Amino acid sequence: MAGSIKDQNRPQKSEQRVEAVERALTILESFSEGQVSFSLRELAEATGLYKSTILRLCASLERFHYIRKDEEGRYHLGPGLWRLGSLYRKNFAAGDQIRPELRYLTRVTGETSSFFVREGDQRLCLYRENSKKEVRHHLDEGLRLPLKMGGTGRILLAFSGARGAPYDSIRIDGYYVSLGERDPDLFSVAIPVFNARGLLAGAFSVSGLLSRYNESVRDAILQEMRSSAKRLAASLPDEET
């Protein structure tokens, strides 16, 4: 049946885009853990945008402190993004509950503990507690990684409805072990974290050097992680993330 006049006049989703905003966000999205600064030429190569366009957009981003330009003319992320990231973590309203559990997991396992949430087609390290060992897996809060690689990514996909291998098995097992999947020297054990209503809140991970992993270590880690997840369930927000 043909849509109503009201439906026909409503802007389609593809039309609800502001190209200048998307280009500015493309610039910001170019930065990563392995690329923390860019020259104008490098930004043009990374984004596919004209240099003149980048100069105009970066000038606006600088005014709002999302980009800063150093004395050598290289562009860096600005402090405005840190402020927004801090607000995001506060609005999640669970840090006071999650951080103590991460500290506990790191203390009893000796390895790095983290809490990831899904952000589009990526996973975001919202909170972490790095291992105190001299040789360890170090994670930074705010780090974004692919969803389809690594323990927490697999967990977030599995419990968001992804079908097929390995996700069907993950839902049955209730956990996922990544052995050298993202980094050949690392392991991670990951489980889902639910709130009191049974909605997915995020994923716990305990990760460390692959040379320290065995099935006994896995079982001990899983026991502690499941206890932490159970303690958290009653206090996490009702919103699904």
DSSP assignment of 159-195 equals TTT--STTHHHHHHHS-EEEESSSSTTEEEEEEEEE-
**Which three-class secondary structure state does DSSP give residue 233?**
helix
Residue 81 pLDDT exceeds 50: yes
Least confident residue range of 15-19, 91-95, 141-145, 146-150: 91-95
Can you give the pLDDT at residue 129?
95
| Residue 6 pLDDT level (bands cut at 50, 70, 90) | very low
- Nearest CA among 212, 224, 70, 62 for reference residue 137: 212
Can you give the pLDDT at residue 93?
58
Residues forming a β-bridge with 118: 123
pLDDT in tens, 42-71: 999 999 999 999 999 999 999 998 999 998
Instruction: State how far the Cα of 61 lies from the Cα of 241, in Å rounded to an integer.
Output: 28
Q: Which fold has domain 12-81?
A: Arc Repressor Mutant, subunit A (1.10.10)
pLDDT in tens, 156-181: 999 999 999 999 999 999 999 999 99
- The architecture that CATH gives domain 93-233 is 2-Layer Sandwich (3.30)
Can you give the pLDDT at residue 119?
86
Can you give the pLDDT at residue 240?
42
**Mean pLDDT for all residues in the chain:** 87
Q: Element (H or E) spanning 60, and its range? A: helix 51-63
Can you give the pLDDT at residue 80?
84
Q: Where in the chain are the domains? A: 12-81, 93-233
How many other C-beta atoms are found inside a 10 Å radius of the C-beta of residue 37?
15
Can you give the pLDDT at residue 37?
93
- Nearest CA among 103, 153, 149 for reference residue 130: 103
Can you give the pLDDT at residue 237?
59
| Residue 96 pLDDT level (bands cut at 50, 70, 90) | confident
Residue 87 pLDDT exceeds 80: no
Residue 33 pLDDT exceeds 90: no
- Per the listing, tokens 């919202």 go with 126
Can you give the pLDDT at residue 32?
84
Can you give the pLDDT at residue 196?
82
Residue 21 pLDDT exceeds 60: yes
Domains 12-81 and 93-233 share a fold: no
